[in-house]
Amino acid sequence: MDNLRYRTISFLSDYGTKDEFVGVVKSVIRTLSPDSTVIDISHEVKAHDIRAGGLALARSAQYLDPGVVLAVVDPGVGGARKGIAIEVNGGDYIFVGPDNGLLAPGVAMLGESSRAVELNNPEFHLPSLSSTFAGRDIFAPVSAHLCQGVPFEELGSPIPVHALQPGLLPVGGVDGEIATAEILWEDRFGNLQLNLSPEDISGLGESFSLRFGETVRRIQKVRTFEEIPNSEIGLIVDSSGLLSLSMYGRSASEELQLYEGQQIELTPITNETSSSSPVTLRKQR
Amino acid sequence: MDNLRYRTISFLSDYGTKDEFVGVVKSVIRTLSPDSTVIDISHEVKAHDIRAGGLALARSAQYLDPGVVLAVVDPGVGGARKGIAIEVNGGDYIFVGPDNGLLAPGVAMLGESSRAVELNNPEFHLPSLSSTFAGRDIFAPVSAHLCQGVPFEELGSPIPVHALQPGLLPVGGVDGEIATAEILWEDRFGNLQLNLSPEDISGLGESFSLRFGETVRRIQKVRTFEEIPNSEIGLIVDSSGLLSLSMYGRSASEELQLYEGQQIELTPITNETSSSSPVTLRKQR
Amino acid sequence: MDNLRYRTISFLSDYGTKDEFVGVVKSVIRTLSPDSTVIDISHEVKAHDIRAGGLALARSAQYLDPGVVLAVVDPGVGGARKGIAIEVNGGDYIFVGPDNGLLAPGVAMLGESSRAVELNNPEFHLPSLSSTFAGRDIFAPVSAHLCQGVPFEELGSPIPVHALQPGLLPVGGVDGEIATAEILWEDRFGNLQLNLSPEDISGLGESFSLRFGETVRRIQKVRTFEEIPNSEIGLIVDSSGLLSLSMYGRSASEELQLYEGQQIELTPITNETSSSSPVTLRKQR
């Protein structure tokens, strides 16, 4: 391992594990750079969901071992979008993948894009008659060659970093006392991450009305899942440091029928004498 | 690898692979102990199902490479339950996870708990503003530090091993000639593991009536799946050394509509002249 | 790693990841050959689907790192079928698994079977009271021992390579101007791989009528997914070098309601003035 430029390739994709795509990418890397290690971040990003992939990268970024970050959610594979590599902070990390906005949120969490190249030097690709599997034919061998010490600038033509596709993420906000947010992420346990941080609602108290569609529901800030009363919804600081709608031992998403991409509103409840039991109101039609 | 105290971290959780939880835990370990290897046992334990996780650990235990066993099924994360490490047999294995009964069945399969600590020394944790991801913030760095040689007793305050949460598993049994059992595990292939061993029913013959709900079905002891006649149910010694209800090339669970946690009864059939064709009787209502 | 005979074990199975089967196999390997690396090809082959497993091996084969290829889709485990090892090209690869046709397509993609043995030397197996988990008890330890340098011929009795079970794959073909094919593989993205190569239909033009059941649909050869017009079906050279029915950013399988194992027919459309809009005709009944 001592002779490697990078020892770790962190790998995220929408390839799934039903097929052999992930295994083939790893086999290519294993052949070209046997001493580097691939860490799977996730391969179950929803097919073609660039935003979900970008968010998963952003949430993971600060924990990734320095090295190559290989990310592939690439509906336009083989077409006009470029294959790229982005050098972060002068070389702590190199992101490799398609130039479609997928990489930007992860890069932004780690620092500055110092350089970028289009991956158009075929010397570091596998020969292929097909345009459909750039992960295998371009991104995997490039990642392996980077670990082996191939200089960044040899991978292809330089691109100005300001010309890269940005990753556009929805921003939540507070207007007066009304916080508006979007469900960024529904995790396996049914926790619903909002694009709001605890700071966004500091000073608005501990209790809120959660509103979406025709539902109104009282929720409460908590520090742990355990503090959430049975059948109620808590507002917790999640592992990304954002606010999340959660239940204790159950799925908030299922309980609320609320999913990624939906909008919600939080308004403070200042009358602390009101009932704390869960309540669902429906407007009369 | 020569300088590692432990080379292997065997990792089981209910994190799933849809999200990046598993990848982030491995990234933390990779950063802190790059030469140790993580072996995934499974991450598809049903969310919050401590019993299922404990059983999977127990079934795997005797095959695990000596080292750290990191297990996380932790509905009470961040709350009153402790994070713990348990030293097994003076240090062959160290189990790391929540003190909620998850670890006990695996430890018991491997030997004796020689020491235990509460993981309350923050020096070996990641700083975090959130209480929701102890796998990343506490259990992963502790596991990595153990591999790197941090002494067990530095991880936190000692706990008497008899004060740890036990793992309560249902025990099957034979009363006279009636064996009563529970479905411990339904595997991917639809095999149904019972909490009965071959010894429990030795001397009761080769053929049994299987009863549950209103179903009665004749089953036969077999040595291999292949010996099970088409559309019939066999009683086979499975890979854990327990008895399992199985079919040949098909799912016994689907055929019988029988699942984890359900109770069944086996009674010997001594009249070997009776029909061997499968039969389902239903009581008249 | 320098002392290993083989450094890599590529591992494919139908074990799934819901249970601990894969983790236990890897734990056995880790214990017996700690410096070899397991590359997961896929473990989500449909339960007992030998053909699907064989096809996944064939598609992966040329990308696998030289070494051991461990493959287990084994409905007859413990029964009459043999456990085998096949040496390929004098030792570049050793395939380990059941003799049921699973290994043959992958071996054929890599070269010649130079030798084969039945895995009947118990010295290289784990002791077991059960017949149901040969992956753990036979194939994993054999794979690990091969990495450690145990000579091939010590694993068991030689078998003539012509006596091994063949892998029977359906062959597509062109009769006059009508190409008949079968759906070999539906991938995660809904691409439908045909058993036809671009050469099979070269000279028949760029546009075809796709027929199956009562559906007739106009399709067009394309070089990239991006060239496929919205809501239309393209005929693309896929990552295996075979023709595939695909859509851009959507599932062709879902759109066409067409799945693995179904038959289709392609006939050239020479009148290039006809409409290029997608059309579905149904015969009158």
String of DSSP letters for A119-181: ---GGGS---S-SS-HIIIIIHHHHHHHHTT--GGGGS-B--GGGSPP------EEETTEEEE
What is the structure's pLDDT at B19? 98
First to last CA, chain C: 67
CB atoms within 10 A of CB B282: 9
Which of B147, B198, B151 is CA-nearest to residue B31? B147
CB of A73 closer than 8 Å to CB of A53: yes
Q: Tell which residue, B131, B133, B108, has the closest CA to residue B57.
A: B108
Average pLDDT over residues B15-32: 98
Residues in chain A, pLDDT under 50 = 1, 273-285
Write down the pLDDT at residue C271.
64
> In 3D, which of A122, A111, A104 has the Cα closest to residue A163?
A104
- In percent, how much of chain C has pLDDT > 90? 89
Token pair of B253, please? Answer: 């669970």
Chains within contact range of chain A (3+ C-beta pairs < 8 Å): B, C
**Shortest CA distance to C264 belongs to which of C240, C245, C237?**
C245
For residues B89 and B110, give the distance between their C-alpha atoms in angstroms, rounded to a whole number: 8
* pLDDT computed for residue C238 by the predictor: 96
- Residue B27 is nearest to which of A60, A226, A240, comparing CB atoms? A60
Write down which chains contact chain C via at least 3 CB pairs under 8 A. A, B
Query: Is there a contact between B30 and A39 (Cβ–Cβ < 8 Å)?
Result: yes
Structure tokens at A168: 């556009």
- Domain boundaries in chain A? 8-163, 173-268
Which tops the pLDDT comparison, C172 or C66? C66
So what's the pLDDT on residue A68? 98
- Which among A18, A24, A25, A23 has a CA at the least distance from the CA of A47? A18
pLDDT of C141 higher than 60: yes
pLDDT at B3: 87
Instruction: State residue C172's pLDDT score.
Output: 83
Give the 3-state secondary structure of residue C215: strand
The pLDDT of B68-77, averaged and rounded, is 97
Q: Which of 209-228 (B) contact C at CB < 8 A? A: 223-227
A242: phi then psi, degrees, rounded to nearest 5? -105, 165
Mean per-residue pLDDT of chain C? 93
Backbone region of residue C88 per phi and psi (left: phi > 0; alpha: psi in -120 to 50; beta: other values): beta
C20 touches chain B (CB under 8 A): yes
CB–CB contact B225 C77 (8 Å) = yes
Greater confidence (A279 vs B38) lies with: B38
- What's the mean pLDDT in C243-251? 97
Q: Does B15 touch chain A (CB under 8 A)?
A: yes
Confidence category of residue B176, pLDDT binned at 50, 70, 90: confident
Q: What is the pLDDT of residue B2?
A: 60
Q: Residue A172's pLDDT is what?
A: 83
In 3-state terms chain B splits into helix, strand, coil percentages (rounded to 5) of 25, 30, 50
B8-163 — its CATH code? 3.40.50.10790
Query: Could you report the per-residue pLDDT of B205-237, keeping only the tens digit for each?
Result: 999 999 999 999 999 999 999 999 999 999 999
Q: Is the pLDDT of residue C115 over 70?
A: yes
pLDDT tens profile B115-155: 999 999 999 999 998 999 999 999 999 999 999 999 999 99
Is the Cβ of A62 closer than 8 Å to some Cβ of chain B? Answer: no
- Cross-strand bridge partners of residue A15: none
Name C92's Cβ contacts closer than 8 Å, sequence gap at least 6. C66, C110, C111
Distance of CA B276 to the CA centre of its chain: 34
**Residues composing chain B:** 285
For testing contact with chain C, the best of A27, A28, A35 (most C CBs within 10 A):
A27
| A1 interfacial to chain B (CB closer than 8 Å) | yes
Instruction: Let me know: does B126 contact B137? Beta carbons within 8 Å.
Output: yes
| B87 has pLDDT over 60 | yes
Distance CA C57, CA B5 (A): 37
Q: Would you state the structure tokens that stand for residue C11, as one six-digit string? A: 């591992």
pLDDT of B281 higher than 70: no
Residues of A in contact with C12 (CB under 8 A): 20, 23
The predicted-structure confidence for B40-55, as pLDDT tens digits, reads as follows: 999 999 999 999 999 9
> One fold for both A8-163 and A173-268?
no
What is the pLDDT at residue B278? Answer: 46
Contact in structure between A179 and A219 (CB atoms under 8 Å):
no
Cβ–Cβ gap B77/A41 under 8 Å: no
The helix or strand, by DSSP H or E, that contains position A211, with its residue range, turns out to be: strand A207-212
Closest by Cβ to B131, choosing from A7, A224, A248? A224
Q: Which of A186, A160, A177 lies closest to A55, judged by CA?
A: A186
Tens digit of pLDDT for each residue in B123-132?
Answer: 999 999 899 9
- Extended strands (E) in chain C: 8-13, 37-42, 67-72, 83-88, 93-98, 113-118, 173-175, 178-186, 192-194, 207-212, 215-222, 234-237, 243-246, 263-268
* CA pair distance A263, A253, nearest whole angstrom: 13
Query: How many residue pairs from chains A and C have C-beta atoms closer than 8 A?
Result: 109
The CATH architecture of the domain made up of A173-268 is Beta Barrel (2.40)
Residue in this structure with the two tokens 């459309």, named with its chain if needed? C269
- Nearest-neighbour CA in chain C from B213: distance (Å): 27
pLDDT in the model for residue C219: 97
What was the pLDDT predicted at C272?
A: 53
Q: B188 in the Ramachandran plot: left (φ > 0), alpha (ψ -120 to 50) or beta? A: alpha
